[in-house]
Amino acid sequence: MQEKYQTLLELANSNGTSYELSEGDGVLHINGVAPNAEAKQQLWDEYERIDPEFRSGDLILNIQTADAASSGEVHTYTVVAGDNLTKIAKKYGITWKAIWDHNRDILNHPDKIYPGQELKIPM
């Protein structure tokens, strides 16, 4: 799996992102801290280049920025009627996949969210 995302890992190494890798059940987990929002966005852009619609489901990219990681701040959003992950993601300037990855513990499918659910929003 690491071979598929090698350019993403190389970018993380070159832009100062610290990260840990784990693999299991055909999914590569990358948990890390980018030095700034620009470095984080570069990683998401590379991920999108490799998997344009984030549909393969073989990578969980959990990257925070250094300032968010050090503050320990957790952002949440409560789902309202008519929401979907894409709509919520646009409010925060992130991808729906980022929200999906951060909430796989409570969501069974990215198209099935319900009013009242509290989602973690990666910043």
The model carries a pTM of 0.60
Query: What pLDDT shows up at residue 68?
Result: 60
* Average pLDDT along the chain: 87
Structure tokens at 112: 């099935």
Rounded distance between C-alpha atoms, residue 27 and residue 1, angstroms: 7
Q: Where are the alpha helices (DSSP H) in the chain?
A: 6-14, 37-50, 66-71, 85-92, 96-102
Q: pLDDT, tens digit, for every residue of 48-85?
A: 999 988 788 899 888 888 766 555 556 889 999 999 99
pLDDT at 112 over 80: yes
Rounded distance between C-alpha atoms, residue 63 and residue 80, angstroms: 26
List, in order, residues 6 or more apart from 36 with CB less than 8 Å away.
65, 66, 67
Rounded distance between C-alpha atoms, residue 76 and residue 73, angstroms: 10
Listed ranges 5-9, 28-32, 103-107; the one with the highest mean pLDDT: 5-9
Tokens 């393969």 -> residue: 56
Rounded distance between C-alpha atoms, residue 58 and residue 1, angstroms: 8
Query: What pLDDT shows up at residue 71?
Result: 55
Query: What pLDDT shows up at residue 31?
Result: 87
Domain 1-71: CATH class, spelled out? alpha beta
Q: How confident is the model at residue 13 (pLDDT cuts 50, 70, 90)?
A: very high
Domain ranges of the chain: 1-71, 74-123
CATH architecture of 74-123: Roll (3.10)
Rounded distance between C-alpha atoms, residue 114 and residue 80, angstroms: 7
